């Protein structure tokens, strides 16, 4: 019997570390990853953290939080950000084509891509360097969406 109580104490201490301020999830994560048996009380506590019952007795809840910056925004914010990036990228591509057509062959001036980024930046606000960053982020997002390997980031 004392082994059962010792096991309960291990899990209780791990949950206590999680619910303290500041919260420390490491002891609970370590236990969950181990082969340590989970007593019924620990299973109930974990269920309560995921979906509090009525009445709530822990007065806290586990909340999923993305560690990926691009997913930290709400779905509407992400869609707006992607639409904005697509608009900037499309206008940049059109300006590059326009500048290449106007530029004499073999010209040693700044690249049409940099000139186009500056022109688009004047219209939308970001600097030329930011335009290049926006386009790079958009490319990464496209690659992540179209990737056949879901673990690839």
Q: Where are the domains of the chain?
A: 2-50, 69-146
Give the CA distances from residue 35 to residues 16, 30, 129, 151, in Å, rounded to whole numbers and listed in that order. 20, 10, 51, 26
- What pLDDT is recorded for position 144? 78
- What pLDDT is recorded for position 48? 87
pLDDT at 29 over 60: yes
Give the CA distances from residue 121 to residues 4, 90, 100, 116, 153, in Å, rounded to whole numbers and listed in that order. 66, 13, 18, 8, 28
- What pLDDT is recorded for position 55? 82
Give the CA distances from residue 27 to residues 17, 45, 51, 69, 115, in Å, rounded to whole numbers and listed in that order. 7, 15, 21, 26, 54
Q: What tokens were used for 112?
A: 């049409």
- pLDDT per position as a tens digit, 43-97: 988 888 888 888 877 777 887 765 655 444 555 666 777 777 788 788 878 887 8
- What pLDDT is recorded for position 68? 57
Taking residues 116-125, what's their average pLDDT? 76
Q: CB-based contacts of 92: which residues, under 8 Å, 6+ apart?
A: 113, 116, 117, 120, 131, 135
- pLDDT per position as a tens digit, 7-27: 889 999 998 888 787 888 899
DSSP-derived secondary structure letter, 130: H
Task: Return the residue matching tokens 């010792």.
Answer: 6
- What pLDDT is recorded for position 23? 84
Give the Cα separation of 45 and 34 in Å (integer). Answer: 18
Q: What is the pTM of this model?
A: 0.43
């Amino acid at each position: 019997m004392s082994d059962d109580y010792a096991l309960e104490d291990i899990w209780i201490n791990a949950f206590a570390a999680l619910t303290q301020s500041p919260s420390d999830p490491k002891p609970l994560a370590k236990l969950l990853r181990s082969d340590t048996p989970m007593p019924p009380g620990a299973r109930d506590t974990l269920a309560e953290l995921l979906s509090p019952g009525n009445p709530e007795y822990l007065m806290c809840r586990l909340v999923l939080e993305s560690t990926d910056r691009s997913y930290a925004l709400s779905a509407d914010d992400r869609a707006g950000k992607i639409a904005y990036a697509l608009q900037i990228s499309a206008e940049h591509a059109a300006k590059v084509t326009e500048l290449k057509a106007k530029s004499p062959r073999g010209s040693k001036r700044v690249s049409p891509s940099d000139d186009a980024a500056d022109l688009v930046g004047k219209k939308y606000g970001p600097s030329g360097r930011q335009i290049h960053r926006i386009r790079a982020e958009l490319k990464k997002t496209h690659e992540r969406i179209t990737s056949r390997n879901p673990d690839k980031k």
